[in-house]
Amino acid sequence: MKKKPNKKSPFWTDAKKPKRPRKPKPTFEAPAKKGGKGKKEPESGPSSLPNEREEVRLNRFIAQSGVCSRREADALIAAGKIKVNGKVVTELGMKVLPIRDTVIYNGKSLRAENFVYILYNKPKNVISTTSDPEGRKTVIDSIELATRARVFPVGRLDRNTTGLLLLTNDGKLAKKLTHPSHNIRKLYHVRLHKDVTEEDLGKLRQGIELEDGLAKADKVDFVRDGNPNEVGIEIHIGRNRIVRRMFEALGYSVETLDRVMIAHLTKRKLSRGRWRELTDKEVSFLKMM
């Protein structure tokens, strides 16, 4: 006899019943002008490659070098820990010219890397690669308006999996987020072809032996206010199709799989097919994990 889902579970609190996948709309497409097609423009200013011949605020330059966030850079400046052209500066709001000025922190010259961090809510039938030999739509095609920098996806979501995907040109952070030793949690909303039993949830918690080793859920439970065939699963393992393979090993067929969280990043106010840039605070948090 199957047990009913635990409606009081604190694990899964913000899930919604998955909707039928819709054809993604063009990201940030402006209304068509009379007599011609509309020009696509981003709603908010995306990051772009730096112009070294333009002055930038010192705190922004420091943040782009990867040292810290802009707010933390202001604190370093105020504390007299930053030198520009050999002189200590404490003036907040000061500007520097990257091709002319030398900025020193802790005895090292800083260089703005202009890292870009984009969070994308991937629809179905979009490929998580930078290019596709078969001409299918990729995540890079989907965010082409976001930046001119050469970003790449951090990890992968298979073609039929939807949800959050981070794209960046920061190789150091990407390596950190994908390595299992850092325990970066990822949360998925899974809908199966049949009701899930408590016994099988227990097996997922204990670990499923797959062809490439043991796969264990960090947390798994029924979706609150969902159906008995819907579960939320939190996992930090990054192996290929790991969530689908775990359920398939127990005799389930995955109907929909949606990644709703990466670390502290969620889909809040980010509809399917849309993207946004991470804030300085979000980037700093990822780097401190």
Residues with catalytic function: 158
The rounded distance, in Å, linking the Cα atoms of 62 and 101 is 13
Largest Cα separation within the chain, whole Å, is 76
At 255, give phi and psi (nearest 5°): -85, -45
Q: Please, are residues 177 and 190 in contact by the beta-carbon 8 Å criterion?
A: no
The two tokens of residue 69 are 């966030």
User: DSSP for 54-82?
Assistant: S-EEHHHHHHHTTSS-HHHHHHHHHTT-E
Closest listed residue to residue 265, CA positions, set 190, 172, 168, 187: 187
Angle at which helix 70-78 crosses helix 280-288, to 10 degrees, equals 80
